[in-house]
Amino acid sequence: MEAKTEAFRAGMCLHTSKAIDKLKDGKPGDMISREAMAAVIGRSCELSEKGYANVMSAIRHVERVHGVVWRWGRTEQAFVCLSAAQAVDDVQQTLKRSGKMARRALTTASTIKPEELDDEHRSRYRAACVQAELIRLSVTAETHKRLLNTAEVKTPDVKKLMAAIA
């Protein structure tokens, strides 16, 4: 009988647990093909298969718990362990997508007539518009350039930030 891994005992399925065991010790530049990962976890890792979902769950877990960042490399056609510089690029791409989603939300919100909403929905509408606009503004090229020109960018104090926008 196969020994249960720590992740499996924590409530994850065996396939995800096997993927975690394979990914957690990754070093920048390591690559694992879908076929190799399928051999490790015992399931197909093609995009529409359950094994792919197991690997994606394992990638999120390994990033959060072990600090190792893996992404699917289109050009490599493999899961790639990212270096710190590549992880920065990944963060910037994620922020760019967030900005696009915020702009889309604002476009949709512009079609809504607040006077046609009940009090609860009007409050939610206003809050959503403010949040979307904050996201949009925070990821603009202008904001990025201003932050690059700041001598020392610190992680903001969330309580102070929330007090400033309240």
Tell whether the model's pLDDT for residue 58 goes beyond 70.
yes
Tell whether the model's pLDDT for residue 36 goes beyond 50.
yes
Strand partners, 66: none
- pTM of the shown model: 0.75
Task: Report residue 27's pLDDT band, with 50, 70 and 90 as the boundaries.
Answer: very high
Nearest to 51 by CA among 87, 82, 22, 94: 22
What are 4's two structure tokens? Answer: 């249960």
pLDDT of residue 2: 47
Higher pLDDT, 70 or 154: 70
Give the integer Cα–Cα distance in Å for 95 and 99: 6
In the chain, where are the structural domains located? Answer: 6-81, 93-165
Tell whether the model's pLDDT for residue 69 goes beyond 80.
yes
Q: What is the mean pLDDT of the chain?
A: 89
